[in-house]
Structure 1
Amino acid sequence: MNSALNEAVHDFRILRENPLINIKIPKKKEEKKALKFFTLSQTERFLNQVKTPVKNAKYSHSIQYYVLFTLIARTGLRIGEALSH
């Protein structure tokens, strides 16, 4: 719109001045979402819970879960990266 009005002023001399020249459009501020993560004590509690067998659970206890979540917690890998190999 600004370009068209500038042409109307300068090229075609239809308008004396561009009415949009003093209008400033505020830029949108990007809202940063706070990252949620476990504290060290919460991580240790979670890993200990994963290691502990649960009675009458649908899935039987496996050391694989403990190893997987320990790998993720200590390296910062995402779940897809940890499972890709």
Structure 2
Amino acid sequence: MAAVLIDVARQRLRGALRLQPREGAAPLLAWRSAGSEVWQQVPLRCDYLGPWLIGLRLPGRRLWLWPDSGDAESLRRLRKALLSLP
């Protein structure tokens, strides 16, 4: 069991999500893996949007954003932008 937990911890997704708002359209989203300098535009789906937790799906990836994933203002802006996604 310990080996499984260690393996899961090693594979934990790390990086940054960038959101670019657009007037009258859904925002553009880009992902950059930790250690990389290349931003890749990605389709994103929000399947859970709560007051404390945000659940996101990227191709082949699952992200959970907790309150300590960013500052309060950034997370508030993200929640607002996610509401505009189709």
* TM-score, normalization by structure 1: 0.26
In terms of Rg, which structure is larger? 1
* TM-score, normalization by structure 2: 0.26
Bigger fraction of residues in helix: 1
Greater length-normalized contact order (CA 8 Å, ≥ 6 residues apart): 2
